[in-house]
Amino acid sequence: PDERGDPIRFEGPLETGGTVDTADYLGSVLVLNIWYAGCAPCRAEAPDLQAVWEEFEGRGVQFLGVNVRDQATTALAFAETYGITYPSVLDVEEGAAQLALSGVVAPNAVPTTLVIDKQGRTASRILGRLESAGILRSLIETALEED
């Protein structure tokens, strides 16, 4: 934890309307999943992400998708198809999330899943498809145990 970088900070529009600011998640562990609907690995990992979200919901953990290519209708159709209940930022127009994540996530590294600690810093990163929900669970548990 002592070697982590600065907090990740961005705000942007949600696919359901309204906006979100990562500052609102300080004090919680935040799982950020960078995705888009046409990404086959993103579709493959969606059920595992949702299952882990349901397992940790209400335990000081939040999930937030970062959709880097789609408009709201496509993102919402994806959420309905795969049963995703956590929100996603639409980053295709403004790119605020991608800018904030530069140096942490390569622009074409989709999907990528980040576990953000309670201070807003990157605690861990999974590049590519989440191969095991158990790995994500373990990374979340570790972040939850930190002060």
Higher model confidence: residue 144 or residue 106?
A: 144
Write the pLDDT tens digit of every residue in 125-139.
999 999 999 999 999
- How many other CB atoms are there within 10 angstroms of residue 69's CB atom? 15
Confidence of residue 6 (pLDDT cuts 50, 70, 90): very high
Mean pLDDT of 100-124: 94
- Cis amide prior to 111 (ω within 30 degrees): yes
Helix (H, G, I), strand (E, B) or coil at 76: helix
Instruction: Record the tokens describing residue 115, joined without a space.
Output: 């576990």
The whole-number pLDDT of residue 108 equals 82
- How many other CB atoms are there within 10 angstroms of residue 130's CB atom? 21
Helix (H, G, I), strand (E, B) or coil at 65: strand
- How many other CB atoms are there within 10 angstroms of residue 93's CB atom? 9
- Please give the Cα distance from 10 to 44 (Å, whole number): 27
**pTM of the full structure:** 0.96
Confidence of residue 106 (pLDDT cuts 50, 70, 90): confident
The whole-number pLDDT of residue 147 equals 77
Contact present, 13 and 88 (Cβ < 8 Å): no
How much of the chain, in percent, has pLDDT values that exceed 90? 95
- Please give the Cα distance from 7 to 117 (Å, whole number): 9
DSSP state of 24: G
- Please give the Cα distance from 118 to 147 (Å, whole number): 8
